[in-house]
Structure 1
Amino acid sequence: MPDGLAMAEVHAHTRASDGMVDAEELVRAAAAIGLRVVCVTDHDTIPDLGGAVETGAALGVDVVRGEEVTASFPPGIHIVGLFVERQVRMHMSVEDTVDAIHDQGGLAIVAHPFMPTWFASMTSRRARQLLETHTVDGIEIRHTAPVLPGAWKMMDEFYAEHRERIGAAVGAGDSHFGAHDLGRVVTVFPGSTAGDLRRAIEQRTTSPLTQAAKPHSPPLSMRLAQQYRSMVWLPQQRRTGRVGARGGRAADDVQPGVRAGRDARGARGAGAAAVPGGGPAAVGGAVAVAVPERGVRGGDGGRAGARQRRGHH
C-alpha cells in the first residue's frame, strides 16, 4: 500500500448476527492482512465491542461501531450505518432509515446494490427515488454479493451520474467468516485511523480495492452453518425481538475506540489525496477501481445538503 493510504473493511459481521467469528477474531484477522480499520456492522443489532476495541488497540486496528439495518419488508433493502451510537430500528422506510442514521451523527451507506434479487439490495430505480429527496454518504460500488454480467459497468455509470448525492465510492467485503473472507474487497482511504476513514468518506476520497488479500475459502461445514444462522437463527431472533428492536447503549457508554471517528466529525483535513484514478491500477497485486470523474465536487462539500435531507420521508 502506498505511503499515506490505508485499507478498511467497512462491512463485516460477527456472531452477534449471522457471522461465524466473534469481534475479537475479526479484528485479529484484519490485522493479519494489514487492515487499519474494521467496521462491525451486524444485522439489526449492535454488540458490545469493548473486547474488540482492546484487541484492536494492541494490534493497530481501529474498530468502528456500525449496523446493517434492514429497511421496510418487502424487499428489506439494507443500509449500513457507520459511526452510530445507538441501534436503528429495522423495517422503517429506506428514507426514515437514512434519517435515523444521520440524526445520531452516523454515515449512511447503500449496501451491496444492484444484486439480481428482489430482497436485501437496492435497484437503480429505487436508488433514484431515494436520491430525489435524500443524500447518502456512500455506496458500495464494489462488493462481494452476487451480480449479473454487466453490473459493474452499470454501477460505474450510475455513480458517475449521481455522485453529487450518492456520496463516496467504497468497497465492501461483507465479511462473515473473518480470516476466511476478509480482504476480497476493501476501501482505500488517505490516513490510517477511524477518524481518517470518516473524513475520507465525507470528502469522497475513498476508492474500492479488490483482491487486497486472497483468503482460503471457509470449509463446507462452516458455510452450511452460516447459512443456517442467516436463514433460520437470525429470523427467529428478529421475530422474538432479540434483534431489530430500537435499542442500544447511550452515547456515554460507547467504548473510546469506537467513538474515535465520530469525534472527528466535521474536521475537513485539507489536502487529503484521492486514490489515483485513470483506470484500474495495480496496487501490490490488487486492483484499484478508478472512481468515475463525472460530477466530482470539492472535498468540502461532502455533507452539503444535510439540511435539505432532514424531515424528508
Structure 2
Amino acid sequence: MRIDLHTHSSVSDGTDPPAVLVRRAHEAGLDVVALTDHDTADSWAEAERAAAEVGITLVRGMEISTRLGHASVHLLAYLPDPTYPPLARALADILDGRNDRVPAICAKLRSLGVEITEDDVRRRAGDAAATGRPHVADAMIARGVVASREEAFATWLNPGRPAYVDRYAVPLEEAVALVAGAGGASVVAHPWGRSRVLTPDHLERLAGLGLAGIEVDHQDHPASVREQLRGLAEDLDLVATGSSDHHGLGKVDHDLGCNTTPPEQLERLLQRAGDAASASGRTTPALLVP
C-alpha cells in the first residue's frame, strides 16, 4: 500500500485543482492521499468527489501556520472538525494575515524597483483561499524577474531577504491543543528541514500536550536526519509519517509518492485521530475509503 500524507492543491499554494491532484495521485499509484492545504479545508469537497470517482482513499487535513518564538513551524492536522469554533477563528486570523501581507510585500518590491501589483498576485492566486508568498513568486516569474519560486524566495521573499514581511501565526503549543480540541491528530511537518528550531526537548513537550507524530521521510531531510527523527519518534511514542509535500509545478523534486508512510503508521495516526474525536465529542471527518 502506497500512502502520501502531505499534498497541496491550488486552493493554497499548489498548482493543481483539488480534483486534478487526487486524479494524479491515483495515476501515480497511490492508494491513500492526504490533502493538506495551508490553513483551510476549502479544497475538501472537490477532492472528495474526485476520490470517489477514481477509487482512492482520501485523508482530509490541513497544514496550519504556527510559530515557536520568532520561528515558523508548520503543523499538519488530520481529520479535524474545521467548524470547531476556536480552530475556525484561528484559521480566519491566519488567512487574514496572509492576505494582509501581500500588499506590504508588493510595496516593498516596488520600492526596490520590482514592479509587482496586488492584481498581478491575485491573477496568479486564482481561487486560492488566501494569497501568499508563493503567489507573489509566481507573479515575479510572470514578469521575468526570477525563473522559479525557489529563486524568488532565496533572493527576495525569505526571512532576511529584502522583500520579506512577517505575518500572524498561531503559537505552536496552542495549535496542537486546537487540533486535539477539534478531534484531529497533529503531526509536525518537516521539523528538521531548513531549520532546527524544534529540539528533542520541544518535541517531548509537544508529545505531552497531544502531538500525534513527526513527519520523518521528507525531501528536506537527508538520510541521517531521517534516522535521528525515526529514533526520536520511537522514543516518544509518536507516529512517523512520510510524504511528498507535493505542490504540483510549485515545487521541484516533490513528486507524488516520492516519500510514503508505512501502513502501520497510518493505522496509528488514525487511531490517534479517533481517540481525539472521542475525547472532544466533535463530529469529525471520516476516512474516505472507496
Smaller-chain TM-score bracket: 0.5 to 0.7
Distance 1:164 1:106, change over 3 A: farther
Structure 1: 5+ residue runs without aligned partners? 1-5, 191-196, 205-250, 264-313
Q: Distance between the aligned counterparts of 1:152 and 1:113, measured in 2?
A: 14
- The equivalent position to 1:117 in structure 2, one of 179, 195, 198, is 195
CA distance in 2, matches of 1:50, 1:161: 36
Structure 2 partner of 1:169: 240
Q: Distance in 2 between matches of 1:53 and 1:135?
A: 28
Q: Which one of the candidate residues 96, 101, 107 is aligned to 2:174?
A: 96
Contact 2:57 2:288 in 1 (8 A): no
Task: Return the TM-score normalized by structure 2.
Answer: 0.58
Q: Which amino acid aligns with 2:287?
A: G
Note if contact 2:12-2:38 (Cα within 8 Å) is conserved in structure 1. yes
Give the aligned partner of residue 284 of structure 1.
Answer: none
Cα displacement string for residues 97-140 of structure 1 (whole angstroms, at most 9, x for unaligned residues):
1111111111101101112336xx74445324434x42421111
Q: Name the residue aligned to 2:79.
A: 83
Distance, in Å, in 2 between the alignment partners of 1:200 and 1:128 is: 18
Q: 1:203 to 1:156 in 2, by over 3 A?
A: farther
Deviations 1:151-178 (A, max 9, x none): 5334423432452535111111101017
Q: Quick one: distance in 1 between partners of 2:200 and 2:235?
A: 16
What's 1:290 paired with? none
SS in 1 for 2:187: strand
Separation of aligned partners in 2, 1:141 and 1:92: 23
2:287 to 248, 251, 261: 261
Q: What TM-score do the two structures reach when normalised by structure 1?
A: 0.54
> Judging changes above 3 Å, is the alpha-carbon distance between structure 1 residues 55 and 19 closer, same or farther for their aligned structure 2 residues?
same
Identify which of structures 1 and 2 has the higher relative contact order when contacts are C-alpha pairs closer than 8 Å and 6+ apart: 2
Quote the sequence identity (%). 27
Distance 1:140 1:96 in 2: 19
* Residue number in structure 2 paired with 1:229: none
User: 2:20 aligns to what SS in structure 1?
Assistant: helix
Segments of 5+ residues of structure 2 without an aligned counterpart are 95-168, 273-281
Which of 21, 25, 28 pairs up with 1:33?
Answer: 28
Matched, 1:57 2:125: no
Q: For residues 44 and 161 of structure 1, do their structure 2 counterparts lie closer, same or farther at Cα, with a shift above 3 Å needed?
A: closer
Q: CA deviation at 1:64?
A: 2.0
* CA root-mean-square deviation: 3.0
Residue by residue over 1:192-240, the C-alpha shift from the partner in whole angstroms, topping out at 9 and shown as x without a partner, is xxxxx75342569xxxxxxxxxxxxxxxxxxxxxxxxxxxxxxxxxxxx
| Matched letter for residue 156 of structure 1 | E
Selected match of 1:185 from 259, 271, 278 = 259
Q: Residue 286 of structure 2 aligns to which amino acid in structure 1?
A: A
Letter paired with 1:113: P
Q: 1:246 corresponds to which residue? A: none
SS at match of 1:113: coil
Note the C-alpha offset of 1:13.
0.4
Higher helix fraction (1 or 2): 2
Q: Distance in 2 between matches of 1:185 and 1:162?
A: 17
User: How many Å separate the matches in 2 of 1:137 and 1:171?
Assistant: 14
